[in-house]
Amino acid sequence: MFSGVLDVMVMLAILVVLVVIHEFGHFATARLFKVRVHEFGIGFPPRARVLARDQETVYTLNWLPLGGFVRLEGEEGDSRDPRSFVRQPLVKRVVILLAGVVMNILLAFVLLWAIAAFADPTVGVKFASIPADPSGQLSPAQQAGLVPMTRIGEKNGFPEFDEKSGDTIIAVDGQRFSWFDAPAGLPDGILRYL
């Protein structure tokens, strides 16, 4: 049960981050174009507390953590204020509306760049042991000369033990096996290189 609650909390946290970044795009472009912004809210009302204030904007934290919002002057089309959203030229209104999506795209690029820059580029995983095949057929690992229960303790030359049940060896020392070389009933799981 705790795992399910934790999963929901993580999902809500990710959702809030995505929405806050999206809404920040609307907020920043509205401020850039001198549109009056009444409120920048994290979560949905009822209001839990005011985080900060500046000359015209209230920054709030709200009780329903399902997103966020930016409240612009005249966004409902009934304001005569020259700084209202509805009084802006069409191009500025479109840019303000698209800025949220652009921020989400930028976030995706930043996250993908961070993964590419800092993640482990290696794909291969070596098993700590190679079990015998009960059907008597040779597995790809056995075809490569590895015998059942051989201990392998490194990945790409570094000591590491990150194997898991269901992983399947499809290459040994860079020599790849074709699907025709592998026995018919390969277990489900992630294909791994040795």
Which member of 23, 39, 73, 75 is catalytic?
23
Can you tell me which residue has the tokens 């609307």?
26
User: Cα 187 vs. chain centroid, distance in angstroms?
Assistant: 28
User: β-pairing, 154-155 with 158-159?
Assistant: antiparallel
Other CB atoms within 10 A of residue 172 CB: 19
Query: 154 an active-site residue?
Result: no
Can you tell me which residue has the tokens 């500025």?
92
Asked if 22 and 40 touch (Cβ cutoff 8 Å), the reply is no
From residue 65, alpha-carbon distances to 19, 20, 112, 194 in Å are 10, 11, 26, 45
Compute, in degrees rounded to 10, the torsion defined by CA atoms 49, 54, 58, 63: -30
Catalytic residues: 23
